[in-house]
Amino acid sequence: MIPTRSLSKWSVLACLALAGCGSDDVEPGNQQLPANTAQAAATYAQIVLASYQDSVTTAEELDTAVKALVAAPSDAALKVARNTWLDAREPYLQTEVYRFYEGPIDKEGSGPEGAINAWPLDENFIDYVKDDADAGIVNDPAKTIDSEALVSMNEAGGEKNIATGYHAIEFLLWGQDMSDTGPGDRPYTDYVSGSEGLVKNQDRRGQYLTTVSGELVNDLESLTEAWAADTAGNYRAEFAALSPKEQLLRVLTGMIVLSGFETGGERLQTAYDSHDQEDEHSCFSDNTHRDMVQDVLGIKNVWTGSYTRLDGTKLSGTALRDVVNAGDAGLAGELDRAIDESLRLANAIEPPFDQEIKTDAGRARVEALITALRAQEKILERIFRKFGLSVPVVE
């Protein structure tokens, strides 16, 4: 089992910057890159921008829906907000393959990933929980609720003290998941000012929800700006100026760390070993099965040089697969099959995930996906070595 949240950014960054770290099993005779490597990197940048733009679009729709909920709370408005949150997750999860190499999303000291998608989340850091009606920022009038304050409180005092991002919004829409058969069931009256019952601070809760949804849009917009085309001084311009070898190293690093460490390890192996709902990635909404599918789909997008936009438009170009196929067609075919198998097994996970990790049949499905992702990771290691690249060290 890989310990939860044990990824050292600096260990991965060191492999990007220093020769000789990672595995020593490099094939020095195969370090000449195929001529299409730079074209594949250009396709990658186009896909990155498009998927972040789609993430902004769906986050804006989510922001509109939560503002409507807070302005006029009702069961219908809450349902719309929840469905819009689920829709917003679809493009964003496909972007997680762009992490782990000190790019704009998780650059040390400035990347917004922790504000966007940090987890696991201690519910009582934000709001009331089953055994404590007074818990959380919402119920502490001494704590200011605005963007600056909430961003400053995110992960303050502990890595589970999550104050912002998708999972904070998820908790505020669904509440704790106390059911074995479905998601959380927070009532819309939690946002009705002066409503009867033990729940209080409805206005502060609404202010919190609209604040974090607006901040999510801002954070995602910063990523589209970083990857915008023909913009001097942004990350995309920096990426385009890198050597093809460094570009390839960064693209592959996102793929291999997401495949093995993040999805196979933190998001699946940890929950599989603990049998604990608290280790489930989207535990309030019971959307974890989609998290797995979309993460693997993001890896496939990068591999195949393609991305399907929200409006159905399909982007495509020279793919990373084309690069690897030029160097070793057999190895490219192996990764084709491995990614397809991982995606098939991710789609086979049955919701709710918190029951998959408790039943024999469900655990078998989860274990099969973990095994497939680890096999995919091993093939990616061989691709690193084929092109004379050091495999990233994850500690």
Contact 68, 76 (CB under 8 A): no
Question: Long-range contacts of range 124-128, CB-CB < 8 Å, 24 or more positions apart?
Answer: 125/160, 125/161, 125/162, 125/163, 126/162, 126/163, 126/168, 126/171, 126/172, 126/208, 127/171, 127/172, 127/205, 127/208, 128/199
Correct CATH for 9-386 of 1.10.1040.10, 3.20.20.70, 3.40.50.300, 1.20.1420.20: 1.20.1420.20
Per the structure block, which two tokens stand in for 184? 């959380």
Contact 280, 288 (CB under 8 A): yes
Which residues are bridge partners to 314 per DSSP? Answer: 308
Q: Which of 162, 55, 72 is nearest to 115 (CA)?
A: 162
Residue-wise pLDDT tens digits, 7-23: 444 344 434 443 344 44
Per the structure block, which two tokens stand in for 41? 């990197």
Residue-wise pLDDT tens digits, 350-395: 999 999 999 999 999 999 999 999 999 999 999 999 999 999 988 7
Q: What is the mean pLDDT of residues 269-277?
A: 90
> What does the DSSP 8-state code read for residue 6?
-
> What does the DSSP 8-state code read for residue 132?
B
Sign of CA dihedral 309, 312, 316, 319: positive
Q: CA-CA distance, 266 to 118, in Å (whole number)?
A: 12
Contact 258, 96 (CB under 8 A): yes
User: What does each C-alpha distance from 195 to 73, 189, 285 come to in angstroms?
Assistant: 11, 7, 24
The amino acid sitting at 382 is R
List the domain boundaries for the chain.
9-386
Decide which of 32 and 90 is more confident.
Answer: 90
In the prediction, which pLDDT does 331 show?
98
Q: CA-CA distance, 252 to 103, in Å (whole number)?
A: 13
Per the structure block, which two tokens stand in for 139? 């119920």
Residue-wise pLDDT tens digits, 295-340: 999 999 999 999 999 999 999 999 999 999 999 999 999 999 999 9
In the prediction, which pLDDT does 7 show?
42
Q: CA-CA distance, 243 to 16, in Å (whole number)?
A: 12
- Does the pTM surpass 0.95? The reply is no
Contacts of 72 (CB under 8 A, 6+ apart): none
